[in-house]
Amino acid sequence: MNIYELLKQHEGIRRKPYKCSMGFKTIGVGWNIDANPLPLEIADHLKVHGEITDAMVDNLLSISVGHATADCRDLFPTFDEFSDRRKMALIDFTFQLGKKGVSRFVNSVACINTGRWDDAAENMLLSAWARQTPNRAADIIQMIQEG
Assign 82 a pLDDT band (cuts: 50, 70, 90).
very high
Percent share of the chain, pLDDT over 90: 97
The residue range of the domain holding 76 is 3-146
- Mean pLDDT, rounded, for 104-112: 97
Q: For Cα atoms 13, 17, 20, give the angle at the middle one, nearest 5 degrees.
A: 75
Predicted local confidence at residue 20, as pLDDT: 84
Q: What is the model's pLDDT at position 41?
A: 97
Return the higher-pLDDT residue of 60 and 1. Answer: 60
- Our count of domains for the chain comes to 1
Residue 22 has pLDDT above 90, yes or no: no
- β-partners of residue 27 are 31
> In the chain, pLDDT over 70 holds for what percent of residues?
100
| Mean of the per-residue pLDDT values of the chain | 96
Question: 3-state SS of 48-100?
Answer: HHCCCCHHHHHHHHHHHHHHHHHHHHHHCCCHHHCCHHHHHHHHHHHHHHHHH
pTM check: above 0.85: yes
pLDDT at res. 21? 78
CATH of the domain at 25: 1.10.530.40
pLDDT of residue 31: 96
Q: Environment class of residue 61 by beta-carbon count within 10 Å: exposed (0-12), middle (13-18) or buried (19+)?
A: buried
